[in-house]
Amino acid sequence: MRFLFLGDIVGRTGRDAVIKSIPYLRRTLSLDFVVANAENASHGFGLSPSVSTSLLECGIDVLTLGNHAWDQRALINYINTQPRIIRPLNYPPDTPGQGSVLVTLTDGRKILVANIMGRLFMDPLDDPFRSINELLTKYRLGTTVQAIIVDIHAEATSEKWALGHMLDGRVSLVVGTHTHAPTADYRIFANGTAFQTDVGMCGDYDSVIGMGKETAITRFTRKIPTERLQPAEGEATICGLLVETNAYGLAQRIAPLRLGGILEQTIPNF
């Protein structure tokens, strides 16, 4: 199986680039499945129902969220009507939406996608390690499901690494989101789980993590109230990770994707 995970989609320029490119990427990379983090897709803060519809209709199969999940208030009620949008699994009980989704492909193969949020330097949510362990008691990689993808939306690299090692051999991919900077440590762990500390963002990298530079710099240098941060509007770089799994659902090949914008370009060629 081949699937692509795309980093945080930031603002109009990020989502326009993704919407335009997904049909091309699905075709040229022979993709079975696409997941993207969309918590910054609407004006840089949250995900609106209309934007989620556009992203799902372009060929993304599942959208994950994070600490900006509820910035667009309309999503609070809408998320219960759209199972392909998932929020962090370790939100408190009775939070709207679900933290995972099981998708069945047209050929019958099943893929579990889970979204988890870290706690170091983040909101004090429920224990992410316990939450994902509880979820995985219901599924067995290679038998009940053919792939398991885990998005850990977190600030601390240590927390992401720890979760990745804990899940090694039990899931197909553990991938970090949230910091918007693609890391060079994409690899396959000893027991077959693909990992990357942060997959980066789909947005304008001539920015401060996707936001306009001047307002962001003023906030750091003057420590006074400023206008609301706005997404940068230059050409976006689409950042993602391609994973190919074997018959047991474990990773056998991985490669980064960087397309468009100002970062060095790389397109997987396997």
**Tell me: the pLDDT tens digits for 154-201?**
999 999 999 999 999 999 999 999 999 999 999 999 999 999 999 999
**237 and 258 Cβ atoms separated by less than 8 Å:** yes
**Tell me: the pLDDT tens digits for 35-75?**
999 999 999 999 999 999 999 999 999 999 999 999 999 99
C-alpha–C-alpha distance, residues 191 and 206, integer Å: 38
**229 and 214 Cβ atoms separated by less than 8 Å:** no
**16 and 236 Cβ atoms separated by less than 8 Å:** yes
Q: For the sheet with 194-196, list strands across it.
A: 100-104, 110-117, 147-153, 173-177, 194-196, 187-188
Say if residue 226's pLDDT is above 90: no
**217 and 208 Cβ atoms separated by less than 8 Å:** yes
pTM of the model: 0.96
pLDDT of residue 160: 98
Contacts for 180-187: CB closer than 8 Å, 24+ residues apart: 180/7, 180/8, 180/10, 180/209, 180/210, 181/209, 182/7, 182/239, 182/256, 182/258, 182/263, 183/157, 186/241, 186/254, 186/255, 186/256, 187/254
Say if residue 90's pLDDT is above 90: yes
Length of the chain: 270
C-alpha–C-alpha distance, residues 145 and 141, integer Å: 5
Instruction: Point out the catalytic residue in the list 68, 153, 178, 180.
Output: 68
Q: Whose structure tokens read 């919407």?
A: 19
Q: Which domains does the chain have, with CATH numbers?
A: 2-259 (3.60.21.10)
Establish whether 68 is a catalytic residue.
yes
Sequence-ordered strand ranges (E) for the chain: 2-6, 8-9, 33-37, 62-64, 85-86, 100-104, 110-117, 147-153, 173-177, 187-188, 194-196, 201-202, 238-245, 251-259
Give percent of the chain with pLDDT exceeding 90.
93
Tell me 211's DSSP state.
B
